[in-house]
Amino acid sequence: MNTQKQKVLLAFTKEKNKPLSTSDLVKHVFKKEYEECQDKITTPTKDKEVIKLGKRELARLHRKLLYHLNTLVQDSTLIVTNVKGKGEKHYAVNTQKEQDDYKLKKIVETITGRELENVDLQGLEKFISKGYIKKPKSNYIRKLKTILINPKGKTLTELFILLEDLMVTITDTIAIEDFQTLISQNEPEHLQTFLRKLDYESQEYNIQINLLLEAKSTDQARMTDFLESLKKTNLKAILLTSVEEIGNKNRLFKKLLGITNVSFQNKAINHSPIILGKEGAYSVSRKHWDEYLQVKNDLTGLLYSSTSVVVDAKKVFERKLTYFEFRELIIELAKNMIKAMTHQRRNADTLFFKINHLNKAKQKEFYQANTSYIRLKHIESEVKNSDDELLNLLESTTEQLKEFCTSSETIFKSCGLPTRIRIKLGTTTPTSTKDVVTNEIIKTIDSHHSFANIKDTNQLITIFNECKTALIEVKRTESVTLEKFI
């Protein structure tokens, strides 16, 4: 289905099919262009030419959208509910029509609530009422959190179409691996067009995009130019590198360190790529990553995470929740997440039809590394302000959660449901090497490690090699912080 038609239909999901006028839909479908028109129409200079231009452009947007609206009415996807004012039509989705188109079917289901199972968090009422848990959106089990995409063998256009298709199914982040190959293989202007479109679409769907790349065998000037151009976007790049490489490509890294949207991952320590999502960092184990590498030619990517729930650690510990209650909260959340995963599993054929279809030959492998997260918001500051007891609590809870997942897996397996259940405690902020306490806690609860041999002293960030020789030294600024090293 055409993207603009899809956006029209998505507009109706926000208020459960409340009728919308052509103007409402223009605002939704052409958000940026609409704002630009409004800026011109309401220009503080009151320049008549500018106002006229704004009105003319707005009329063009109306005409453009009316074309799509008419075709949607003609094929009975939309119905005209009434005509108001100077003849402006109001529309609603025709929920009675049997939909053949998969995406449209999903949109209509969202509007009508059809097939939606009870996904309310259960057994957690006392924690929800105190605001300890951020209640997930009701459709969270119908979508996946974060996936990695393998761009191999795809042109930029094919890749963009794929990403655009997947955005409907994802709520946090899509990461594209091996992006250096796309930089090498495509003309800079084509890449820029791709980035612009990707940036726009990802903002429309409120999704984070990570571009994962390595510095090897790529024209350094080309890579620098490309990464520089990210400054204008909301896209994030993660450079998978090593201390040695930083030492060998000193000049390149000095430049790259200054680019705001670029983070650095030490691949010598973290073997598999870390994804920096809206809700925090995502990772997969070395074992799962190695398994993925063996079959990646047959896969469109890898599912990093399907669900997550955020717990406000500040509220939890400020209000003196006992350690017993804290553990109870985590285990109850884990039970709810298993239920959510069960629903996703049972309905994977329809919910994630596109992804399953793309990974046809190796569907099982796509889901193999899936991890759900219980994210503790503000946990770093809580740890900093407390004694060892809290760290011990987090360690023992992590252990308890692991045992719970293992025993649940055993139960499911004994019932003829051999599946993987992985739930981890995590933070809502990406890892940083800011201080020891943070590192300790992140190591404890998120299995992340800091970038090796790096120090932040006297306004300077220094990276050392194993012999403690300084390889690179850059001035700490607003954009050059230790947060960049994951």
Partner 1 sequence: MKTIDVWKQKLKKIKNEGYTYVDIDNRRAKELLNVIITIEDPKKQEIEGPLDYLSAQHKWLYPSKTEISNVMFKEILNPAYDYTYGGRIFNFADKFNQINNFIIPLLKKQPLTRAAVVSVYNPIEDSNFTNTNKPGIIMLYFRIIEEKLTISAVIRSQDFFFGWPANIYQIYSLQKYVAENLNVEIGSLTTLSNSTHIFESNFEDINQLVQEEK
Residues that bind partner 1 (CB under 8 A): 335, 338-339, 341-342, 344-346, 348-349, 356, 359, 363-364, 366-367, 407-408, 410-419
Distance CA 170, CA 162 (A): 12
The encoded tokens of residue 71 equal 């075709």
Of residues 185 and 410, the one with the C-beta less far from partner 1: 410
Cβ(146)–Cβ(280) under 8 Å? no
Of residues 282 and 366, the one with the C-beta less far from partner 1: 366
State the nearest-atom distance from the C-beta of 315 to partner 1, in Å. 25
Q: Which residues pair with 309 in a beta bridge?
A: 374
Distance CA 183, CA 118 (A): 45
State the nearest-atom distance from the C-beta of 129 to partner 1, in Å. 20
Alpha helix locations (H) across 347-478?
A: 348-351, 353-358, 363-367, 379-384, 388-414, 436-446
Distance CA 221, CA 213 (A): 15
Of residues 121 and 211, the one with the C-beta less far from partner 1: 121
Of residues 50 and 116, the one with the C-beta less far from partner 1: 116
State the nearest-atom distance from the C-beta of 374 to partner 1, in Å. 15
Of residues 22 and 356, the one with the C-beta less far from partner 1: 356
State the nearest-atom distance from the C-beta of 143 to partner 1, in Å. 16
State the nearest-atom distance from the C-beta of 258 to partner 1, in Å. 43
State the nearest-atom distance from the C-beta of 404 to partner 1, in Å. 8
| DSSP state string for 315-347 | HHHHTT--HHHHHHHHHHHHHHHHHHHHHHHHT
Alpha helix locations (H) across 113-177?
A: 125-129, 156-166
Of residues 266 and 307, the one with the C-beta less far from partner 1: 307
Of residues 147 and 379, the one with the C-beta less far from partner 1: 147
Distance CA 314, CA 317 (A): 6
Distance CA 144, CA 168 (A): 10
Of residues 267 and 339, the one with the C-beta less far from partner 1: 339
Of residues 13 and 363, the one with the C-beta less far from partner 1: 363
Nearest to 454 by CA among 246, 238, 277, 240: 246
Cβ contacts of residue 1 below 8 Å, gap of 6+?
101, 103, 104
Nearest to 91 by CA among 114, 110, 66, 112: 66
The encoded tokens of residue 260 equal 């705001």
Burial classification of residue 409, based on how many CB atoms lie within 10 Å of its CB (0-12 exposed, 13-18 middle, 19 or more buried): middle
State the nearest-atom distance from the C-beta of 411 to partner 1, in Å. 5
Distance CA 81, CA 87 (A): 12
State the nearest-atom distance from the C-beta of 335 to partner 1, in Å. 4
Of residues 415 and 467, the one with the C-beta less far from partner 1: 415
State the nearest-atom distance from the C-beta of 292 to partner 1, in Å. 14
State the CB neighbour count (10 A cutoff) for residue 376.
27
State the nearest-atom distance from the C-beta of 321 to partner 1, in Å. 19
